[in-house]
Amino acid sequence: MNLPPSISKSGLAANRSPVGRRPPAAPRCRAADSCAASRSSAFTLIEALLAVAVCAIVLVAINAVFATAVRLRDQTSAAVEGVVPLGQALETLRRDLREAVGPGGALAGDFKCGAQGMGLNMGLTAPAASGLDFFTATGRIRDTEPWGDLQEVCYFLQDPTNGQANAGKDLVRYVNRNLLATTLIQPPEPQRLLGGLQDAVFECYDGLEWRVWDTSMGDTNLPLAVRVKLQPAADPGSQVLPTPLEVIVPLTTVTRTNFTAAAGG
């Protein structure tokens, strides 16, 4: 067979489709490759254990921080609860002493510090060497009450009213507003200022030394200052006493006496 010259044998062979031959199949992922990929994307047992251990360490640290914060909060609350009554008691004592009135007036009586017979005008019996009895101008004037600003106050220690004697004694303050009465029907109610005290010592300064003071026994004027020593009681189950507290309050009130000056010329 004669072929046109434009068609060669090589072109005929190229156009001829093979018989019984399949087209090439699409590439497939091998099973080994897929297994390797799945192993690389999953967690091993060691990695899981390490993750659990790290989580446990973090939780323990959070628990420790939280427990420390709660303990510090409780300690701070206890410290604040102990400081607030102490500050209020000392402020009340300072205010009364700053407005102390010397003896010799129509209503003002004696100034007694650690002396005998304190609180007798109120019907009280204060223990010796542990109290303070004087007159001060700190009374509040109200329209509904007939009292003036002058009042008698008495400080000393007494056993707690709640019956817990092992927790120390209470520092109480008694107030007598009715200074014109010759007899009292009943003693005034005590004002509890501070609790948990083992001892309280009141002393007065005369310019040379600290000592007791009693204007009914020779001391005709007010002292220069008053010192108060408060010894807190030991905690239950402990024999160590806390650090004592000492407060010094200067008295600026001076009792003036009349005198006659003779002049010659």
Predicted confidence (pLDDT) per residue in 18-40, tens digit:
555 565 555 555 555 555 555 55
Dist. CA 263–CA 265, nearest whole Å: 7
Residue 50 in domain: no
The pLDDT of residue 262: 41
Residue 126 lies in a domain: yes
Structure confidence by residue, pLDDT tens digits, 195-228: 889 888 999 999 899 999 988 888 888 999 999 9
For residue 14, being part of any structural domain is answered with no
Residue 263 has a pLDDT of 41
- Interior CA angle at 183 toward 181 and 184, to 5°? 90
What's the alpha-carbon Rg for the chain, to the nearest Å? 47
Measured from the Cβ of residue 182, the count of other Cβ atoms closer than 10 Å reads 5
Helix (H) or strand (E) run with residue 53 in it: helix 45-98
Q: What does pLDDT average to over the chain?
A: 78
pLDDT at 5: 54
Encoded tokens for 177 = 């507003």
Residues 6+ apart with CB under 8 A from 204: 113, 114, 210, 211, 212, 213, 223, 224, 225, 226, 227
Per-residue pLDDT tens over the stretch 100-157: 988 877 788 889 888 777 777 777 765 555 789 999 999 888 888 888 889 999 998 8
User: Does 16 reside within a domain?
Assistant: no
Number of folded domains that form the chain: 1
Closest C-alpha among 260, 122, 257 to residue 185:
122
pTM for this prediction: 0.65
What SS3 state is found at 96?
Answer: helix
Domain that holds residue 158: 75-250
Asked if residue 185 is part of any domain, the answer here is yes
- Return the SS3 of 217: helix
Structural domain includes residue 169: yes
In a domain, 124, yes or no: yes
Mean pLDDT over 183-187 rounds to 70
Residues with Cβ < 8 Å from 217, sequence gap 6 or more? 115
Most confident region among 10-14, 24-28, 68-72, 113-117 by mean pLDDT: 68-72
The SS3 of residue 108 is: coil
Residue 135 maps to a domain: yes
Residue 135 CB coordination number (10 Å) = 24
Q: Which residues contact 153 (CB under 8 A, 6 or more apart)?
A: 96, 133, 134, 135, 136, 138, 173, 174, 175, 176
SS3 46: helix
Q: For residues 103 and 87, what is the distance between their CA atoms, to the nearest angstrom?
A: 29
Residues paired with residue 134 on neighbouring β-strands, in sequence order: 153
**229: CB partners within 8 A, 6+ apart:** 199, 200, 201, 203, 244, 245, 246
